[in-house]
Amino acid sequence: MLKKLSDALPREYGNGWDERQLRYCVRVAEAFPDKEIPNTLCSDLNGSHLCTPMFIDDPLKREFYMDY
């Protein structure tokens, strides 16, 4: 499913939507189900800063590292 989506998105939204990027988007949505958290973080940080905490499965540990 992500492969099909990654093929279709660049036609509509430009480059940068490969399958790997979409997997990261899914992971961010899973790690931060409260949509306000990624919105707030994205205004302060770039995408690479979300990479480490988004792979921490324990929500308490993830919040510890995000609370800087």
For residue range 2-48, what is the model confidence (pLDDT) as tens digits? 899 999 999 989 998 899 888 888 887 887 777 666 666 555 555 55
Residue 49 token pair = 């800063």
Q: Model-level pTM?
A: 0.58
Residue 68: predicted pLDDT: 55
H helix or E strand, kind and range, residue 2 = helix 2-13
**Segments making up each domain of the chain, as ranges:** 2-66
Residue 29: predicted pLDDT: 81
Give every CB contact of residue 26 below 8 A, 6+ residues apart in sequence: 2
